[in-house]
Amino acid sequence: DIRMTQSPSSLSASVGDRVTLTCRASQSISTKLNWYQQRPGKAPRLLIYAASSLQSGVPSRFSGSGSGTDFTLTISSLQPEDFATYYCQQSYSPPMYTFGQGTKLEIK
Amino acid sequence: EVHLVESGGGLVQPGGSLRLSCAASGLTVSDNYINWVRQAPGKGLEWVSVIYAGGDTYYADSVKGRFTISRDNSKNTVYLQMNSLRAEDTAVYYCARETVAVARGYHFYMDVWGKGATVTVSS
């Protein structure tokens, strides 16, 4: 199984900050990497697919990069609605998808 | 607009059974890949099962032999039959549509999610 490890597990930041979240795969997954946002009590929401493609309707302050085993999600200027938990997911080995453990982004 | 709505959650005793439903609107389940993903209280996301457009089904090792995914095309609904339930199956269960993008290869992602159904396994 492909294991996905996210860091940090939690992060405190302020509105307007630029933040970068990291996801590492246990083996190379090319660019088969998706990012989801989950607000408390809500369903996950797709932000980025194929490592760097922005899902329709997602603000351009979100961007993704990486390939192989190391990936990042960057939020260029944090907005109040961005405080949530973020998950990466590998889509290299369908249908056995695995998610990272999540990074909780909190208000400082 | 595309929507998925889960129902059928509830409290069940260990060893019991429950059937979740995922009703779709704005999409045809028989033309799509529909997944079930669960989230235990305070934990992360875990893929559970998928039914492909062609009817093939797949399961996570943690539920194989106990859960069955199926669909009723006439009702445009996907089901997850859960038997021999355990305390560790307690979670919010989401259904999600899986889409593929073709760009330098095939890229699969879950772009439409329901709000979730809560399953609690406890005596």
DSSP chain A: ---EEEE-SEEEE-TT--EEEEEEESS--TT-EEEEEE-TTS--EEEEETTTEEPTT--TTEEEEEETTEEEEEESS--GGG-SEEEEEE-SSTT--EE---EEEEE-
- Compute the average pLDDT of residues A18-28: 98
Rounded distance between C-alpha atoms, residue B77 and residue B110, angstroms = 17
Instruction: Name the pLDDT band for B104 (thresholds 50, 70, 90).
Output: confident
- Compute the average pLDDT of residues A38-57: 97
Note whether A90 and A33 are within 8 A (CB). yes
DSSP per-residue codes, B57-88? EEE-TTTTTTEEEEEETTTTEEEEEE-S--GG
Note whether B90 and B120 are within 8 A (CB). yes
Q: Do B44 and A55 touch (CB under 8 A)?
A: no
Q: Can you give the pLDDT at residue B12?
A: 98
Q: Can you give the pLDDT at residue A101?
A: 98
Search chain A and give the residue with CA nearest B60.
Answer: A96
Percent of all residues in chain B with a pLDDT value above 90, rounded to a whole number: 96
Chain A residues closer than 8 Å to B105 by CB: 30-32
Instruction: Name the pLDDT band for B20 (thresholds 50, 70, 90).
Output: very high
Which tokens sit at B82?
Answer: 């859960």
Instruction: Name the pLDDT band for A60 (thresholds 50, 70, 90).
Output: very high
- Compute the average pLDDT of residues B17-39: 98
Which tokens sit at B111?
Answer: 């772009």
Q: Can you give the pLDDT at residue B18?
A: 98
For B108, the closest of A91, A98, A99 (CB atoms) is A91
For A43, the closest of B60, B109, B114 (CB atoms) is B114
Q: Do A46 and B110 touch (CB under 8 A)?
A: yes
- B13, pLDDT greater than 80: yes
- Compute the average pLDDT of residues B68-87: 98
Question: What count of other Cβ atoms lies within 10 Å of the Cβ of residue B82?
Answer: 25
Q: Can you give the pLDDT at residue A79?
A: 96
- A75, pLDDT greater than 80: yes
Rounded distance between C-alpha atoms, residue A73 and residue B61, angstroms = 30
More confident site: B101 or A45: A45
Q: Can you give the pLDDT at residue B103?
A: 77
- B83, pLDDT greater than 90: yes
Q: Can you give the pLDDT at residue A15?
A: 96
- A9, pLDDT greater than 80: yes
- A87, pLDDT greater than 90: yes
Which tokens sit at B9?
Answer: 């959650």
- Compute the average pLDDT of residues B83-108: 94
Share the mean pLDDT of chain A: 97
Note whether B48 and B35 are within 8 A (CB). yes
Q: Do A44 and B104 touch (CB under 8 A)?
A: no
Cα distances (Å, whole numbers) of residue B70 to A21, A37, A49, B50, B77? 37, 28, 27, 9, 9
CB contact A90 to B (< 8 Å): no
Q: Which amino acid is at B105?
A: G
Q: Can you give the pLDDT at residue B68?
A: 98
Cα of B52 to nearest chain A Cα, Å: 10
Pairing relationship of beta strands A33-38 and A45-49 according to DSSP bridges: antiparallel
